[in-house]
Amino acid sequence: MVRISENINLAEYTSFGAHATATRMVEWSTTNELLAYLASDEGKEHLSDRWTILGEGCNTLFTKDFLGTIIRSTAKGITITEESAEHTTIRVAAGEVWDDVVAWSTERGLWGMENLSAIPSSVGASAVQNIGAYGTEAKDVIESVEVVMLDTLTTENIPSSKCKFGYRESIFKEELAGKAIITAVTYRLSKSATPRLDYGTLRPEVERTGDYTPQGIRNAVRAIRDSKLPDPKKIGNAGSFFKNPILPREQVERLKAQYPTMPVYDVAEESDKLKIATGWMIDSLGWKGKALGRAGVHANQALVLINLGGATGEEVMALANRICGEVKDKFGVDISPEVNVL
């Protein structure tokens, strides 16, 4: 049976730690349990009203009380589903903590997840958000995503090629938003060495230790992240608050002519577009380490907004909106949140 609790303090379930209350939370630990709930009168009543899914709560900001149902998976388990000379394929329940799965894979010397170490996320959210860091995205290792379809109450296994993965985008944020609940994700990991060290300061950090194993790369990524990103257990935050905009090449070339030090990245899927660094723009506006009320900009990485203690979601949004306006005024660029604002 699912576990239903009422009057939930969302500060305990979100990494921002901003206070807000939800009417109820429904926690499920097996797909059958979830299906039985969805088919029940109670489930139908709850889902006929406002509802949303929360994973580890590391990418969601509640700006007001949530008058509705929060659905959360506590499903755990990593199962090897296929083993060949080249690959190990694993099926992981949606409620597993992402970084526990990365640790599991690197401890076994398997390749593919190491660059995505220490990203706060659940397994379900890794697919929704196509989480990414250091030149790797979750889609590079996702083979398929299992969901429960809410209209038919059946399960489906959606192959990665149909998930419409893009930069922090997927079908689960678009066509299937509100229509499907992810129950498990299957990842394909490689047994042969496939290190990807070309992003930013990763290579020098790995060279420094000389450990080129998945575990060594995991340790290097953790060291870089620790130096730049605040620990959500100590300072409320949701990682990058904004996305890096992907803009037409001509627009980026004009910006680059005006601001020669602006970092620019290729976008694999789109050759006529380039990605620019929002963190660099916010930094150049002088926001790093500054605050507006109880919400601030992290001193080591301008892309990360932080809760300085007791900030409400509205205060964080006031800061975010102010920054968006200043970026637009100076660079003529619209930036949008990566964080899911509710």
Of 188 and 288, nearer to ligand EPU (C-beta) is 288
Q: Does 37 sit near ligand EPU (CB under 6 A)? A: no
**Of the residues 24, 87, 164, 243, which one makes contact with ligand EPU according to CB under 6 A:** 243
Stretch of residues binding ligand EPU (CB under 6 A), selected from 145-153, 155-163, 170-178, 279-287 = 279-287
Cα(59)–Cα(266) distance, rounded to whole angstroms?
25
Which of 277, 285, 333, 341 binds ligand EPU (CB under 6 A)? It is: 277
Q: Which of 115, 312 has the CB closer to ligand EPU? A: 115
From the list 24, 50, 108, 168, the catalytic residue is 168
Q: Which range binds ligand EPU by CB under 6 A, 87-95, 99-107, 212-220, 295-303? A: 295-303
Residues between 113 and 152 that touch ligand EPU (CB under 6 A): 133-134
Instruction: Determine whether 202 is exposed, middle or buried from the number of CB atoms within 10 Å of its CB (0-12, 13-18, 19+).
Output: buried
Q: Which stretch binds ligand EPU (CB under 6 A): 14-22, 87-95, 239-247, 317-325?
A: 239-247
Asked if 222 interacts with ligand EPU (CB under 6 A), we say: no
Q: Select the span of 63-71, 80-88, 204-212, 297-305 touching ligand EPU (CB under 6 A).
A: 297-305
Q: Among residues 78 and 246, whose Cβ is nearest to ligand EPU?
A: 246
As measured in angstroms, the least distance from the Cβ of 81 to ligand EPU is 28
How many residues belong to the site for ligand EPU (CB under 6 A)?
A: 19
Residues in the chain: 342
Give the nearer residue to ligand EPU in terms of CB position, either 92 or 224: 224
Rounded CA-CA distance 20/31 in Å is 29
Over the range 254-273, which residues count as b (16 or more CB within 10 Å of their CB) and which as e? ebeeeeeebeeeeeeeeeee
CA distance 118 to 134: 12
Is there binding between residue 302 and ligand EPU (CB under 6 A)? Answer: yes
Is 338 considered catalytic here? yes
Query: Is 288 a residue that touches ligand EPU (CB under 6 A)?
Result: yes
Does position 200 bind ligand EPU by CB under 6 A?
Answer: yes
84 annotated active-site: no
Decide: is 247 part of the binding site for ligand EPU (CB under 6 A): no
Residue nearest ligand EPU by beta-carbon distance: 239
Give the CA diameter of the chain: 61
Smallest separation, CB 115 to ligand EPU (Å): 8
β-sheet with 66-73: strand ranges across:
3-9, 21-28, 66-73, 51-54
Q: Are 53 and 331 in contact (CB under 8 A)?
A: no
Lookup: tokens for 218: 């995991």
287 binds ligand EPU (CB under 6 A): no
Please give the residues from 146 up to 185 whose contact with ligand EPU meets the rule CB under 6 A. Answer: none
Q: Which is nearer to ligand EPU, 214 or 230 (CB)?
A: 230
Active-site annotation, residues = 168, 240, 338
- Judged by the rule CB under 6 A, the positions of this chain that interact with ligand EPU are 133-134, 199-200, 229, 239-240, 243-244, 263, 277, 279-280, 283, 288, 301-303, 338
